[in-house]
């Protein structure tokens, strides 16, 4: 007994009054009628040239810094870094690898802003919290208890010996060797 389907019977014969389309043509017909299927968000992480977390563009070769996603500027060639699905409810709509949470649960920053020497969270939790394992000050930085809100435990050496206190112990003026 053969089971009849709208396209034809179980043996592949066309049903009366219908025209069977070969497999590929059926898909093309559906796309022509319904349009292409929506792209599924498949954001992937990558490592930028500065060794920070990034967002891999659809071309699979461009890696943009996490903080350049949903910033209002189309950085990827096809603009996928500004797609509505990705940017509609930031930070909830962003993939987890792009987001870092601050000490204040209501605050967040982009993951490439952790351990960058700047007080992005406002409470230094992105630089000093037990959850972050930031390396010691880099070669262009001086470690000291900073008096400048923008920095946490290191200041740029360009601020040393400029006759302005940036460290609470004044080491930026008396101990720091100055800019590189």
Going residue by residue through the chain, which has 180 residues, state the pLDDT in tens, using 9 for 90 and above. Answer: 333 333 434 444 444 444 444 455 544 544 455 444 334 357 899 999 999 999 999 999 999 999 999 999 999 999 999 999 999 999 999 999 999 999 998 999 999 999 988 999 999 999 987 777 888 888 899 999 888 889 998 999 999 999 999 999 999 999 998 886
Q: Are 161 and 141 in contact (CB under 8 A)?
A: no
Q: Are 157 and 163 in contact (CB under 8 A)?
A: no
Q: Regarding beta strands 63-65 and 99-101, do their DSSP bridges make them parallel or antiparallel, or are they unpaired?
A: unpaired
Of how many residues is the chain composed? 180
User: What is the C-alpha end-to-end distance of the chain, expressed in Å?
Assistant: 88
Q: Are 145 and 153 in contact (CB under 8 A)?
A: yes
Alpha-carbon distance of 69 to 74, in angstroms, equals 8
By 3-state DSSP, what share of the chain in percent is helix, strand and coil, each rounded to 5?
Answer: 20, 15, 60
- Who's near 148: CB < 8 A, 6+ residues apart? 155, 159, 166
pTM of the model: 0.68
């Amino acid at each position: 007994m053969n089971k009849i389907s709208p396209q034809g019977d179980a043996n592949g014969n066309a049903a009366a009054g219908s025209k069977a389309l070969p497999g590929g043509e059926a898909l093309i017909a559906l796309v022509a009628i319904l349009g292409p299927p929506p792209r599924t968000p498949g954001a992937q992480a990558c490592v930028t040239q500065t060794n920070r977390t990034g967002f891999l563009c659809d071309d699979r070769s461009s890696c943009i810094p996490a903080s350049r996603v949903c910033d209002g500027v189309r950085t990827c060639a096809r603009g996928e870094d500004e797609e509505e699905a990705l940017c509609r409810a930031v930070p909830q709509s962003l993939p987890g690898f792009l987001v870092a949470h601050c000490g204040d649960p209501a605050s967040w920053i982009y993951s490439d802003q952790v351990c960058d020497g700047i007080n992005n969270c406002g409470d230094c939790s992105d630089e000093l919290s037990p959850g972050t394992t930031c390396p010691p000050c880099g070669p262009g930085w001086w470690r000291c208890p900073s008096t400048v809100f923008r920095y946490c435990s290191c200041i740029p050496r360009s601020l040393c010996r400029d006759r302005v206190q940036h460290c609470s112990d004044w080491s930026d003026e008396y101990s720091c060797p100055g800019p590189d």
